Structure 1
C-alpha cells in the first residue's frame, strides 16, 4: 500500500462518502430544470438507500470495533447520535415528495448534517482507527461482505460476532452486542 492509499476498511467507507456527496451535488444541480421533481425523487431515494446501507455497516461493524479499540465513548456516542439524526430526516423524506412543503429544505438539512458527519468521521474516527491497532484490511473484507448481503436484502440479519475481533494491540475487549 503506498502512502496515498487508505487501508481497505477506510477506503470502502470513504468511497461511500464520495458516492453520497455526488448524489447530493446531482440533486442540487436540478434547480429550475424540467422534469426535476421525478429526478429529485430518484436521487433522494438513492441518497437515502446509500445512507441507510452505510449507517448499517458502520453501526454493525466499524463503530463497535472502533469503540472497543479506542475507549472514547464520547466520540463514538456523538457519531451514533449523528446517525440517529440522519435516520430521522430519512424517515421524513420517506413520507414527503418533491414539490411538498419543506422537501428541498429537508434534503438541504440532510446534506449539511451528512457533510459535517463525513468531515468529522474522516478526520477523527479514521485517524483513531489507524492508531488503534485494528486490522483494517480484514475489517474491510467484513464491510464488503456485509455490503453485499445488504445490497441483496436490506433486512438481512447482521453476521457473527467475529466482526468485532481486534488486531493485536487493542486496548479494550469488545463490548457485548446490545
Structure 2
C-alpha cells in the first residue's frame, strides 16, 4: 500500500510550485508546442498540436483571469498591467476560437497559428518582464496562490479531457 502513495508526489510537487513558477512552466510548455508546430509538415500532427496549444492557452488564461490577475490587481493597486493583459487574452481567445476544430487546410490556418504564437510571445514577455517582478515583490503569498492555481488548472484539464 505504501507504493500507491508514491505515485502521487508528481502532483504534489506541481501543487507546491509558486504562482509565477507555475505560469512560467506553462509559458515554456506552450512555446515548445509552437516550435514543434513550426517544424512539422504533417497535417494530422499540426491538428493535434493546435488542439494541445488551444487547450493549454485556454486553461492558462482562465487561471490567470480567475485567480492570478485579481490578486495582482489588488496587491499592486494596478490599473494598467492587468487590464492590458486581459485585453491581450481577448485577442488570443479570438484566434483560439478560429482554430478550435478547424482543419489545417493551408496558409490561412498556418498564418493564424503564427499570429497566435507571436501574440503569446509578446504577452509572455510583458508578463515576465513587468508583471511577475512586481507581483513577486508584493505582499502576495505566491505559494498559496500557486496551490490554488494548480488545483484549478487540474480541475479545468480534467473537464477538458471529458468534454
Same fold (TM over 0.5): yes
Q: Deviations over 1:32-91 (max 9, x none)?
A: x4xx10000000000000000000010000000000111121211100000000000001
What residue number does 2:134 align with? 128
Q: How does 1:75-94 map to 2 (within 5 A)?
A: 75-94=81-100
Q: Deviations over 1:91-130 (max 9, x none)?
A: 1112532124510000000000000000110111101111
1:113 and 2:119 correspond:
yes
Q: Secondary structure at the match of 1:92?
A: helix
What residue number does 2:24 align with? 14
Residues of 2 paired with 1:16 and 1:151: CA distance?
Answer: 13
1:97 and 2:103 correspond:
yes
What residue number does 1:149 align with? 155
Note the aligned Cα RMSD (angstroms). Answer: 1.5
In the alignment of these two chains, the number of paired residues is 145
What residue number does 1:54 align with? 60
Query: Where does structure 2 lack aligned partners over 5 or more consecutive residues?
Result: 1-16
Residues of 2 paired with 1:57 and 1:75: CA distance?
Answer: 16
What residue number does 1:38 align with? 44
Residues of 1 paired with 2:64 and 2:100: CA distance?
Answer: 22
What residue number does 2:38 align with? 28
TM-score (norm 2): 0.85
Which structure is higher in helix share? 2
